[in-house]
């Protein structure tokens, strides 16, 4: 990660914070983009761009361009921004499906489209998306979320094919991530079976590294079924 320039979206969330922190600790320069307001100051090694709705293509492009201009280039985009909803198909609201599509698919799509020209100029352009193991087979109540994450999987496929030889595009598919919010929602679960943000970050940053130059179009489960 030394001297790599990364954008991390959803950087104020439980996973985004860990990915950004580990990347910086290994010498990367990181642009943190989030819907929440900025929480830190801008330095030559780090910039926070807050208040961004990545489901809006214009806002996504402005944020990505600002990050690339700050550092002078862009080597990797890590699309972590997203959301979750648990709602059955029959009893749910169509607005939930629209919200999941906007939060999970459009955020990754818009950030990727904005970043690709910058990434193609890098000798090691990378996109890493966050899919979901739960999107491989949706259980009861998982329809809206799983459908949107399945869209992220297919977006990954398409981008990897379209940009092969220029930018690698891969996705990690976590099981349940061990976060404070998930523990609160599922207090009786066996947390030891969940994947930690640190474990997931290691896979993400590997895919963003030079060592992963031969991998593209991969959908990588992380954490196993629980």
Read off the pLDDT of residues 160-210 as tens digits, 9 standing for 90 and up.
Answer: 999 999 999 999 999 999 999 999 999 999 999 999 999 999 999 999 999
Whether residue 39 is predicted with pLDDT greater than 90 in this model: the reply is: no
Which runs of consecutive H residues, i.e. helices, occur in 56-196?
57-71, 94-100, 107-120, 143-162, 180-185
The pLDDT assigned to 41 comes to 79
pLDDT in tens, 107-137: 999 999 999 999 999 989 999 999 999 999 9
The pLDDT assigned to 226 comes to 60
Residue pair 20/32 in contact (Cβ under 8 Å)? The answer is yes
b or e along 117-129 (b: 16 or more beta carbons within 10 Å of the residue's beta carbon)?
A: ebbeebeebbbbb
Token pair for 76: 């990797």
Q: What is the pTM of this model?
A: 0.96
Whether residue 78 is predicted with pLDDT greater than 70 in this model: the reply is: yes
Token pair for 216: 């593209």
- Residue 207 burial (10 A CB sphere; 0-12, 13-18, 19+): buried
* E strand or H helix that includes residue 168: strand 167-174
Rounded-to-integer distance, Cα 101 and Cα 104, Å: 5
Residue pair 107/127 in contact (Cβ under 8 Å)? The answer is no
């Amino acid at each position: 990660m030394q001297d790599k320039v990364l954008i991390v979206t959803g950087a104020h969330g439980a996973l985004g914070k860990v990915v950004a922190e580990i990347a910086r600790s290994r010498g990367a320069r990181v642009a943190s983009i989030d819907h929440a307001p900025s929480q830190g100051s801008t330095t030559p090694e780090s910039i926070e761009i807050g208040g961004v709705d990545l489901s809006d293509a214009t806002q996504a492009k402005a944020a990505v361009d600002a990050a690339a201009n700050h550092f002078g280039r862009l080597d990797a985009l890590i699309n972590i921004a997203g959301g979750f909803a648990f709602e059955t198909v029959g009893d749910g609201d169509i607005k939930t499906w629209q919200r999941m599509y906007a939060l999970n698919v459009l955020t990754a799509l818009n950030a990727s489209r904005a970043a690709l020209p910058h990434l193609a100029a890098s000798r090691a352009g990378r996109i890493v998306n966050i899919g979901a193991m739960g999107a491989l087979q949706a259980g009861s109540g998982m329809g809206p979320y799983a459908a949107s994450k399945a869209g992220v999987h297919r977006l990954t496929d398409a981008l990897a094919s379209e940009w092969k030889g220029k930018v690698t595009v891969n996705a990690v598919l976590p099981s349940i991530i061990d976060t404070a919010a998930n523990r609160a929602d599922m207090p009786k679960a066996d947390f030891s079976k969940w994947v930690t943000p640190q474990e997931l970050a290691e896979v993400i940053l590997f895919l963003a590294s030079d060592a992963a130059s031969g991998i593209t179009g991969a959908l990588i489960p992380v954490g196993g079924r629980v």
